[in-house]
Chain A
Amino acid sequence: MSVRRLAAVQPESFAFTPENVKWAKGIIAKYPEGRQASAVISLLWKAQEQHGGWLPEPAIRAVADMLGMAYIRVLEVATFYTMFALQPVGKHFVQVCGTTPCLLRGADKLMHVCEKVIGHQNHVTEDGQLSWLEVECLGSCSNAPMAQINYDYFEDLDPESFEKLLDDLRNDRPVKPGPQVERACSGPVGGPTTLLDQSLYDGSVVGSWKKRFDETKAAKEAATVQAATEAAKPKETSPGEKQAAKQPTDKTKGA
């Protein structure tokens, strides 16, 4: 990660749209009086959304003014969290994970693709469609290598699929988020290998555990009832048996 600085070229001003102002008021109202500063991350995020995916300097001041915070306090937050892009980003902002699991699975090749297709990091293509950044683990390691593009994860990439993906995005063709190989979420590639028994899914085993539980319970109850009836029968138990039953209690007492 490099030193994050505010962009050199900044817009003149920033103001939330009326809807966003309304939304912001709602967020601020969630916090007790005097604790409005707690809303800073939400508001910055909204500002970034409104401003095409990156956070301009006037927005930092606007948020600070809304929350009664010193400008420097909001700048601290904005520069601390890497989720705030301080430099302009493309319409499709590609964040390639470069942490160990992804790297082991070829993230470096994805980054080469980015270099080739987009250019160096933090650079927006001339058509304004794409820009990219190497980021740390995005928590999708089981589908490594992966990239986050705007709000979606694109997983199980390889250089070819990635290049195609970038091309589709650049030309605003529809794309499919999620794993780019035959796989459901982070399930095994090529379909599941366990839990294949179809009856697991047709409802036939629904409640089977309960049935089993009920059966055991019923059996137990039957046994007790039987024992009770036997005990009710006059003097059939031998004295020896009774003593044996009592003994452990006596022993414990004696000890």
Chain B
Amino acid sequence: MAKIIVDGTELDVPPDFTLLQAAEQTGAEIPRFCFHERLSIAGNCRMCLVEVKGSPKPVASCAMAVKDLRPGPNGEPPVVITNSPYVKKAREGVMEFLLINHPLDCPICDQGGECDLQDQAMAYGSDASRFAENKRAVEDKYIGPLVKTVMTRCIQCTRCVRFSTEVAGVPDLGSIGRGEDMEITTYLEKAMTSELQGNVIDLCPVGALTSKPYAFAARPWELSKTETIDVMDALGSNIRVDARGREVLRIMPRLNEDVNEEWISDKTRFVWDGLKTQRLDRPYIREAGKLRPATWNEAFTLIAEKVKATKPKKIGAIAGDLASVEDIFALKGLMSNLGVKNLDCRQDGVALDPSFGRASYIFNPGVSGIDTADVILLVGSNPRWEAPVLNARIRKAWRLNGTKVAVIGEQADLTYAYDYLGAGVDTLNGVVDGSHSFSKTLKDAKRAIVIVGQGALIGENGAGVLSLAAKAADAIGSLTDEFSGLAVLHTAASRVGALDLGFVPGEGGLGLAGMLKPKALDVLFLLGADEVDVPAGPFVIYQGTHGDRGAHRADVILPGAAYTEKHGTWVNTEGRVQIGSRATFPPGDAREDWAILRALSDVLGVKLPYDSFAQLRATLYAAYPHMAAADQILAGDVASLKSLAGRGGAVQAGLAFRSSIENFYFSNPIARASALMAECATLAAGGKLEAAE
């Protein structure tokens, strides 16, 4: 620890703290443009100047470490002053220079109202310019369909360049030219290819990089801001949904160190246009092969008729990937009241099962556990597309901590270097029995994480592979009481919650594969389940939000609420219970899903025992107490993983693993309805073609 005096307060801080960090400990506010906690230090904007006693010039506090200051003549701690007139004058000088070439077009700038330059100009700007010459102007650059550029506004802080190079790991952006002619661009104005590129919009302290889809849509102060949870992947990124009236206008990340830090993927950020198109806004009934609008009553009556005409054994229900815990709980209640045991939530047919214990299907080390891992083994997973923000975290560990990454499965570009061990089961077996050359590295590691992707767990080999992965984790010493290194990476936001609730076949019930066999069922209830192919035969009730695959097959459609339109709980891949809130209302006649199920239960004569959302939650919490602990993880227990390792199971030799995500931009019905995601997908496909040439 090093001593330092900031504004008269003596502090004890780690010696590698910067002056800016030290000053913040006292509550002093230091203005900044280029400095960002999660990026390397550039020290090029000079806005953070402070006075250091004994220094002939003001010092850029973001780039000076406490340990680099000399003590006073008698060994007193160095003295830093952040609020003297000298400092103010220095910063005013910097601001004046910054504004020389800034267009001052705030009235037509989308950043207006949430602009760092605007805010800091209030504190350090002057009311008039002494600059009579021509301002420089910079041509706008095309850098893709997501980020709009007005490059004349750029103040060359290089945050965007550092982000794409360091955090995203896709060095698209760069600064060309020098001095006054420096410009930010991509190589020959190609579209950026990072799946995290939207974050540069938040990072850009001015209005140079703004959201293209949100361009000229609203001012920040007109928007209602709702803090909620993302469902585009199973990470459960914390987001803020900004809406005006009934319309979601943009989605921004919220800070959560344990989950998404402050990043979100482009799918999370830009999927909102999909919330407006292809929406199911009233019930439909299929008549003579065609869907026709209907009333709720008609729809419910028809369902009741069909349900009454068959036996519980011939009824099934599948929960989709975006459903909230409450929805699934209500559906499960309804089904058990009907005596139905044919339930499943594993649309992709993975072999995860709550009976193996919670530890068998969650990301045991936790997302933040990645930061302290020394080796990470990816089994049948491509985190870049399955959970981009998590991938950025692995990249961070690889980059800053020297964490080693190894892959069994597909050889894909993950934005970091890794040891490629092999394609599938045989390699994993080699790791288990220690015959693989990499086993030693894994064994020597103190905290090795084995990340198992859904791709490895699909199909009849799934159970065997899961057990094998647990065995591998055990063999390398990652299953101990303090540290459990088996991490299941989900792709569906609803999955862990559904498994927690036991939304899997009851005794003698059919699973997904059984239910989808022709003639297996008479009535099938899909709760937003769009990833399954239902054969001809059963009467399909689809409750969901978008006219996607499920709705096309449906005989009755019940319009539900999307994730931004309801209160709900989602449990992320690490088993963290997170609570989302409603930002807007569902369109037209659509209703919140739990309410639909509750109403339907009444019509079916098996009324669910709650009349309000609060009552539902109380019932839920009584049955599953851990759901009440928001933001907490109910840890799985290692013993169950050990017994999982011992279970074994048939695995076909030579089986190769593939990631379960085929197209990142089309992984759920909302994304498939989004024109923007379609554009991104086309671009990504084009990008791949180009690379192959």
If the complex has contacts A72-B186, A72-B187, A75-B187, are A3 and B181 also in contact, measured as CB distance less than 8 A?
Answer: yes
Would you call B593 an interface residue if the criterion is a C-beta within 8 Å of the partner chain's C-beta atoms? no
Interface mask (B151-189 → A, CB under 8 Å = 1, otherwise 0): 000000000000001000001111111110101011110
The reply to whether A70 and B176 contact each other, CB–CB distance below 8 Å, is no
Q: Of A4, A57, A70, A76, which contacts B181 at CB under 8 A?
A: A4
From B172, B173, B177, name the one whose CB has the most chain A CB atoms within 10 angstroms.
B177
A67-99: which have CB < 8 Å to B?
Answer: 70-73, 75-76, 79-80
The reply to whether A79 and B186 contact each other, CB–CB distance below 8 Å, is no
The reply to whether A4 and B177 contact each other, CB–CB distance below 8 Å, is yes
The reply to whether A80 and B177 contact each other, CB–CB distance below 8 Å, is yes
The reply to whether A76 and B171 contact each other, CB–CB distance below 8 Å, is no
The reply to whether A73 and B181 contact each other, CB–CB distance below 8 Å, is no
CA distance in complex: A76, B174 (Å): 7
The reply to whether B173 and A79 contact each other, CB–CB distance below 8 Å, is no
Please, which residues of chain B bring their CB within 8 A of the CB of A2? 181
CA distance in complex: A2, B173 (Å): 22
CA distance in complex: A2, B174 (Å): 19
Chain A: minimal CB distance from B140 (Å) = 14
The reply to whether A79 and B172 contact each other, CB–CB distance below 8 Å, is no
Please, which residues of chain A bring their CB within 8 A of the CB of B177? 3-4, 79-80
If the complex has contacts A1-B181, A3-B181, A4-B181, are A73 and B176 also in contact, measured as CB distance less than 8 A?
Answer: no
The reply to whether B175 and A73 contact each other, CB–CB distance below 8 Å, is no
The reply to whether B181 and A72 contact each other, CB–CB distance below 8 Å, is no
Chain B: minimal CB distance from A249 (Å) = 37
The reply to whether A75 and B176 contact each other, CB–CB distance below 8 Å, is yes
A contact residues, total (Cβ < 8 Å): 14
Query: Which of under 10, 10 to 19, 20 to 34, or 35 or more describes the interface residues of B?
Result: 10 to 19
A16-72: which have CB < 8 Å to B?
Answer: 57, 70-72
Chain A: minimal CB distance from B413 (Å) = 13
Please, which residues of chain A bring their CB within 8 A of the CB of B181? 1-4
Chain B: minimal CB distance from A3 (Å) = 5
CA distance in complex: A71, B165 (Å): 12
Q: Of B178, B179, B187, which contacts A71 at CB under 8 A?
A: B187
CA distance in complex: A75, B173 (Å): 11
The reply to whether A70 and B171 contact each other, CB–CB distance below 8 Å, is yes
Please, which residues of chain A bring their CB within 8 A of the CB of B172? 70, 72
CA distance in complex: A242, B183 (Å): 84
CA distance in complex: A57, B187 (Å): 10
> Interface of chain A, helix or strand or loop or mixed?
helix
The reply to whether A79 and B176 contact each other, CB–CB distance below 8 Å, is yes
CA distance in complex: A3, B188 (Å): 15
The reply to whether A79 and B171 contact each other, CB–CB distance below 8 Å, is no
CA distance in complex: A6, B189 (Å): 12
CA distance in complex: A4, B171 (Å): 22
Please, which residues of chain A bring their CB within 8 A of the CB of B176? 72, 75-76, 79-80
Please, which residues of chain B bring their CB within 8 A of the CB of A6? 188
CA distance in complex: A2, B188 (Å): 19
Please, which residues of chain A bring their CB within 8 A of the CB of B173? 72
Please, which residues of chain A bring their CB within 8 A of the CB of B183? 3
The reply to whether A72 and B178 contact each other, CB–CB distance below 8 Å, is no
Please, which residues of chain B bring their CB within 8 A of the CB of A73? 171, 174
Please, which residues of chain A bring their CB within 8 A of the CB of B174? 70, 72-73, 75-76
Which A residue sits closest to B179, measured CB to CB?
A1
From B172, B176, B178, B179, name the one whose CB has the most chain A CB atoms within 10 angstroms.
B176
CA distance in complex: A76, B187 (Å): 9
Please, which residues of chain A bring their CB within 8 A of the CB of B179? 1
Please, which residues of chain B bring their CB within 8 A of the CB of A76? 174-176
From A3, A57, A72, A79, name the one whose CB has the most chain B CB atoms within 10 angstroms.
A72
CA distance in complex: A149, B207 (Å): 44
The reply to whether B187 and A80 contact each other, CB–CB distance below 8 Å, is no
CA distance in complex: A6, B188 (Å): 9
Interface mask (A156-169 → B, CB under 8 Å = 1, otherwise 0): 00000000000000
Please, which residues of chain B bring their CB within 8 A of the CB of A75? 174, 176, 187
CA distance in complex: A191, B187 (Å): 54
If the complex has contacts A71-B187, A72-B186, A75-B187, are A80 and B178 also in contact, measured as CB distance less than 8 A?
Answer: yes
CA distance in complex: A12, B185 (Å): 23
Which A residue sits closest to B175, measured CB to CB?
A76
CA distance in complex: A3, B183 (Å): 9
Which B residue sits closest to A6, measured CB to CB?
B188
Please, which residues of chain B bring their CB within 8 A of the CB of A4? 177, 181
Interface mask (A211-247 → B, CB under 8 Å = 1, otherwise 0): 0000000000000000000000000000000000000
CA distance in complex: A80, B165 (Å): 19
Please, which residues of chain B bring their CB within 8 A of the CB of A71? 187
A113-145: which have CB < 8 Å to B?
Answer: none
Please, which residues of chain B bring their CB within 8 A of the CB of A79? 176-178
Chain B: minimal CB distance from A85 (Å) = 14
Which B residue sits closest to A57, measured CB to CB?
B188
CA distance in complex: A93, B188 (Å): 26
Please, which residues of chain A bring their CB within 8 A of the CB of B175? 76
Please, which residues of chain A bring their CB within 8 A of the CB of B171? 70, 72-73
CA distance in complex: A79, B165 (Å): 19
CA distance in complex: A34, B175 (Å): 23
Please, which residues of chain A bring their CB within 8 A of the CB of B165? 70
A140-195: which have CB < 8 Å to B?
Answer: none
Q: Name A residues whose Cβ lies closer than 8 Å to a Cβ of B.
A: 1-4, 6, 57, 70-73, 75-76, 79-80
Q: Apart from A3-B177, A4-B181, A75-B174, what are 6 other A-B pairs with CB-CB below 8 Å? A: A1-B181, A70-B172, A72-B187, A75-B176, A76-B174, A79-B176
Q: Shortest 6 CB-CB distances between A and B: which pairs?
A: A72-B174, A70-B171, A79-B176, A71-B187, A72-B187, A76-B174
Q: Name B residues whose Cβ lies closer than 8 Å to a Cβ of A.
A: 165, 171-179, 181, 183, 185-188
Q: List 19 A-B contacts (CB under 8 A).
A: A1-B179, A2-B181, A3-B177, A3-B181, A3-B183, A4-B177, A4-B181, A70-B165, A70-B171, A70-B174, A72-B176, A72-B186, A72-B187, A73-B171, A75-B174, A76-B175, A76-B176, A79-B177, A80-B177
